[in-house]
Structure formats: C-alpha cells, structure tokens
Amino acid sequence: MPSTIPALDEHADSILSHSWHDLQLLSESPHPYGSRANDKVHDYILQRVRSIVGHENAKINATVDEDMRPYLFRQDDVFDSSLPSGRVLYYESNNILVKVPGSDPSLPGVLVSAHYDSVPTAYGTTDDGAGIASMLGMLEAILHNNNDNTLPLRTIVFNFNNNEEFGLLGAESFFEHHWSKEVEFFVNLEGAGAGGRAVLFRGTDLSVVKHFASSRAPHGNSILQHGFDSRLINSETDYKIYSRNGLRGLDIAFYTPRNIYHTKDDSIQGISKEALYHMYGNALDSTLSLANAAEDSLDNCDRVVYFDILGRYFYVLSLPILFQMDIILLLLFPAITISL
C-alpha cells in the first residue's frame, strides 16, 4: 500500500481490528442470495449491528430496522437495457437498516450502503465483504468515538443490503422503506477487484465529489466514470439505483486486479488490512463531511472531472467550466501565435 495512507491512531486501530475480524468471518464461504450461507452472514451482521448500537460506549441512540418484508415493484433489467421494460418483481427483502439521527432532521440525510451477498462462484471478500466490514467500522466510529457527544448535522442511514448480484434488488427495495424519504445523498461501497486502494468509481456532481476530496487518502479518476457510462466496464453497482432515484453521491470500490472479479480468488488471501483501512477511512471521512455539510456546500450539481496525482493530490473540476476554459484557450492560441 502507498505511504500516503495515514498512520492509525489508537481508536482507529481498535476499530480496524474489529472490521478485519468481521471480514474473516464474512469470507468463510460463498453466500449468494437465498442460500443458507447468506442467512448465516445476515444473522452475523445483525448481531454485530445490535452489539455496536447497544454497547455501553455508544454515545448516540441509533435505531435498527430488520427490513424483513416482501415487496412488489417495477424494475427494468439493470444489466441489459435492450430487454423489454416494465417488468414487475416480487422480492423478499432482508436488508438491515440503521438510522443515526442528525441534529437537524429538516436537512436531507446521507445513505451509506454495501451489499452482503456474493456470487455463487466467489467468497465475496471484496465484492462486497470489505464494504460491509467498513460499514460496521464506520458505525462503531460514529457511535463510540464521539467524544463530545454531538450528533451529526444530518441523519445517516446505513443499508446493509442483500441481493445486489442478481439485479441490485437490495438497493431497489430500499426505496420502499420510509427511511428512504429522509436521505438525499449516498456513499456506496463496492468491489470489482481486490486489495490495493479503493477508488472513486463515480460521483454524481461537483459538490459531492468535493466532499470525497476531503477524505484522508482520496484516490480516483473520472475516466472510470466514462468507462461505466460508455459500458466499457461491463458491470453495475447499486450506484445506478441510488442515482436513478434522484440521490446524489459517490461510488467507492476496489478495482484491481480485475481478473479475480467474481472468481474463487476473491477471498481473504487477496486483500490486506491496509486496503480495508483505505476503504474504511475514505468512506468514513466522506460520509461525515457530507453529514455535517452546510446547504451552500452542496448547491453545485455540475458534472465533474476529478483525478489524483501519485495518491497525494486530488483535483476536482467542473466539467462545464473546463469546457469554457478549453474554448477560451482555443480562441486565444491563434491570436497569441500571430502576435509572436
């Protein structure tokens, strides 16, 4: 891992140890939706969530909702847009939701999401066990390491969702839950590779990406966003569902090596504790930055260009302004050349 990742303090080291242990247990076997192994993972996450929320160190009263409900909803095929539209799905949800109240409930909140199912062919360590382990660490950090007992400005909702792999259904069913009306921003955690640094795959707009830029070790390039938009990257994440339903946010994911994606090599042997800390740290920082943001820091919805240099400097630019600068330079260049 690069040296740009900050050293761990005592609290972060303790939380990371818990999250690393969580990831070991989440990675014991493939656990696709509908399997007994998936039920076991669900029960483990629920037990951990209740333990964190009910712990004596918890300084904020969070609410847990085990979303065990059947839903009927319309959803076009999320992987193949050429298929007929308007299909109706019956889905039995078992998402695990946690709500951390904000001090100003009139402000739209922040959703944090990852999925706990795997494909049948993989252990699901990075897709998406690391996202789930990071969320458990984030929940612990927000509830237990809040030394001044202050609430975040905005409500934070955690969605430990199920059945992403077979149609992004855990994210879709979230919008049938009444807590979905309380959020307007999101941080989605995913895995399309293993180990290394977690990258900002996509961001909806300039303002939200600026909040990612404030994280401890931001890494990303908007070329990846273009790859998704042009279908050069042939996969999808829950980002599609959240953004399609009007939320603004971030898609943070592991991306290399891509060749282990959805294979048996997506296992605990392919990821390091440092990689998990990179995802956890950036996700926590981005979430808290959004959750404590004033309204005027979120009012720019321009499309965005972003990139980092050597993992040390992260730049965020408005795409419309960048186009305007290009046009000005194209107009000025001939005049400058003639004058010379």
Q: State residue 5's pLDDT score.
A: 57
The beta strands (E) that lie in the chain are given as 63-74, 88-100, 109-115, 156-161, 183-191, 199-203, 248-254, 304-309, 313-318
Per DSSP, the residues of 140-192 read HHHHHS-TT-PPPSS-EEEEEE---TTTSHHHHHHTTSGGGGGEEEEEEEEES
Helix, strand or coil, per DSSP, at residue 90:
strand
CA angle 58, 62, 63 (to 5 degrees): 140
State what percent of residues in the chain have pLDDT above 70: 89
In this prediction, residue 184 has a pLDDT band, given cuts at 50, 70 and 90, of: very high
pLDDT band at 58 (very low <50, low <70, confident <90, very high): very high
Active site residue 184: no
Q: Among 2.40.170.20, 3.40.47.10, 1.10.287.130, 3.40.630.10, what is the CATH number of 10-339? A: 3.40.630.10
pLDDT digits (tens, 9 = 90+) for 250-262: 999 998 888 889 9
Which of 16-25, 34-43, 229-238 bottoms out in mean pLDDT, i.e. has the lowest?
A: 229-238
Q: Measure Cα distances from 197 to 189, 192, 201, 253 in Å.
A: 13, 12, 12, 8
Question: Given pLDDT bands bounded at 50, 70 and 90, which one contains residue 85?
Answer: confident
Specify the pLDDT at position 178: 96
Using DSSP's 3-state secondary structure scheme, residue 63 falls into strand
> Which pLDDT score, from 0 to 100, does residue 2 have?
46
Give the pLDDT band of residue 48 (cuts 50, 70, 90): very high
Separation of CA 5 from chain center: 19
**If pLDDT is split at 50, 70 and 90, which confidence band does 39 have?**
very high
Over residues 292-297, mean pLDDT = 93
The two tokens of residue 274 are: 């440092």
How much is the average pLDDT of 270-290? Answer: 96
Question: How crowded is the C-beta side of 16, counted as CA atoms within 13 Å?
Answer: 18
Q: CA 151 to CA 104: how far, in whole Å? A: 9
Contact (Cβ atoms closer than 8 angstroms) between residue 229 and residue 171: no
Domains of the chain by residue range: 10-339
Tell me: pLDDT of 195 over 80: no
Cβ(157)–Cβ(95) below 8 Å: no
From the candidates 92, 140, 164, 274, which is the catalytic residue? 164
* Average pLDDT value for residue range 295-300: 92
Which of 120, 112, 131, 273 has the alpha carbon at shortest distance from 191?
131
Averaged confidence pLDDT in the chain: 90
